[in-house]
């Protein structure tokens, strides 16, 4: 028998050896945890399609943010559900809006926690589209003006990072320009640069009641068949002043994360979206998969694909698992 000199199994034999040659390390530092903020107080309403996740009023969101910080997670990203929806989503830029209040309360309670804010209008418009409509179509440039106002109001409230998510042409430039004009040059932009028109957002839209009443988002979100376009979108956002480039969803787009992270010399975030979380939770609840192992394997896969930052509803769970080792 002519055995090979090199036996790959040698370094897999014990956990100690495996730890030494492990190529990808998942850390609590990688995570961002999403929080959904609603009007009222004392509200902690379970989201049916996202078991374990809640709609929180500002007071409860602040407690949840503090628990997130206690787990060592560096950042939260906020989503707001307004009191009233209207045709343009004007509550998005109200100084007393629910997200603005949450930013102030969380920064007061935990100044060290990075507060990011999703910045779009679909949660704020009565038609559920991502901005101003003109003859049934999303009016790109009119929406940019409202976006510019909105991110400034988040910056005034004290957020660290704004995260425009509408996939409008020129949205990063519009945010950068208005922030700088108002002397918020230190507020960073995490751009949803590569956001696909995806069925994986289903549970999220239930959580924030943002499903469009008619039509879809294929006119602004990307076609899931495309990857060269992803790199093009990302480069444009870098030129417009983005500080972090996001790819979303994550699991069905690991090749896109790889392509973008190979080509773009910027921090890359991946958003493991609501449908990805819901699938794992549903299968785990049925006893069909081992939740803990699938969560760690999935998050490690996203890191291995090239993401530096992972936005995930599993962040607190994963943080606890990481702390156990
Ligand atoms: C838009 C926004 C969406 C998500 C994050 N920001 C939904 C959409 O584009 O319809 C999806 C997040 C998720 O599914 O977890 N405000
Ligand atoms: Zn939107």
Q: 137 lies in a domain?
A: yes
Distance CA 302, CA 296 (A): 10
Q: 264 lies in a domain?
A: yes
Containing structural domain, residue 319? 25-324
Q: 19 lies in a domain?
A: no
pTM of the model: 0.97
DSSP bridge pairs for 247: 194, 270
**Helix axis angle, 291-304 relative to 315-324, nearest 10°?**
100
* Interval 31-70: pLDDT, tens: 999 999 999 999 999 999 999 999 999 999 999 999 999 9
In 3D space, the residue among 116, 115, 165 whose CA is nearest the CA of residue 143 turns out to be 165
Q: 186 lies in a domain?
A: yes
Domain count, the chain: 1
What is each CA distance from 157 to 19, 28, 51, 57, 114, in whole angstroms?
43, 27, 30, 17, 13
Question: For the chain, what is the mean pLDDT?
Answer: 96
* CATH code of the domain containing 38: 3.20.20.70
Pocket test for ligand 1, best of 129, 201, 274 (most atoms within 8 A of CB): 201
Task: Reply yes or no on whether 248 is catalytic.
Answer: yes
Q: 62 lies in a domain?
A: yes
Q: 67 lies in a domain?
A: yes
- Return all residues near 318 (Cβ < 8 A) that are at least 6 apart: 26, 28, 31, 295, 296, 299, 312
Residue 166: the pLDDT is 94
| Ligand located closest to 147 CA | 2
Atom of ligand 1 nearest to the CA of 192: 6
198-203-208-214 Cα dihedral, nearest 10 degrees: 50
Q: 104 lies in a domain?
A: yes
What is each CA distance from 88 to 132, 139, 141, 225, in whole angstroms?
5, 11, 13, 31
Q: 287 lies in a domain?
A: yes
* Interval 219-256: pLDDT, tens: 899 999 999 999 999 999 999 999 999 999 999 999 99
């Amino acid at each position: 028998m002519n055995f090979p000199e090199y036996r790959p199994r040698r370094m897999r034999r014990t956990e100690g050896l495996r730890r030494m040659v492990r190529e990808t390390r998942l850390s609590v530092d990688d995570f961002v945890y999403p929080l959904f903020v609603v009007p009222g107080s004392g509200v902690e309403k379970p989201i049916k399609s996202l078991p374990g996740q809640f709609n929180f009023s500002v007071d409860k969101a602040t407690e949840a943010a503090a628990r997130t910080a206690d787990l060592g997670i560096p950042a939260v990203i906020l989503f707001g559900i307004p009191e009233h929806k209207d045709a343009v989503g004007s509550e998005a830029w109200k100084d007393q809006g629910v997200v603005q209040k949450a930013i102030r309360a969380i920064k007061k309670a935990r100044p060290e926690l990075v507060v990011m804010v999703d910045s779009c209008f679909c949660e704020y418009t009565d038609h559920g589209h991502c901005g101003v409509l003109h003859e049934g179509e999303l009016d790109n440039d009119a929406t940019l003006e409202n976006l510019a106002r909105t991110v400034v109001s988040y910056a005034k409230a004290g957020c660290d990072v704004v995260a425009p998510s509408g996939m409008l042409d020129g949205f990063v430039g519009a945010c950068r320009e208005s922030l700088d004009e108002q002397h918020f040059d230190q507020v960073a932009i995490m751009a949803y640069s590569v956001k696909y028109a995806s069925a994986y957002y289903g549970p999220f839209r239930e959580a924030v009641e943002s499903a469009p009443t008619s039509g879809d988002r294929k006119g602004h979100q990307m076609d899931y068949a495309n990857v060269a376009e992803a790199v093009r979108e990302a480069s444009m956002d870098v030129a417009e002043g983005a500080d972090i480039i996001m790819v979303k969803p994550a699991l069905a787009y690991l090749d896109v994360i790889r392509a973008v992270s190979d080509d773009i010399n910027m921090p890359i975030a991946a958003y493991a979206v609501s449908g990805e979380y819901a699938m794992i939770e549903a299968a785990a609840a049925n006893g069909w998969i081992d939740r803990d192992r699938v969560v760690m394997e999935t998050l490690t896969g996203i890191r291995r694909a090239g993401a530096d930052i992972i936005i995930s509803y599993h962040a607190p769970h994963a943080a606890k698992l990481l702390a156990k080792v």
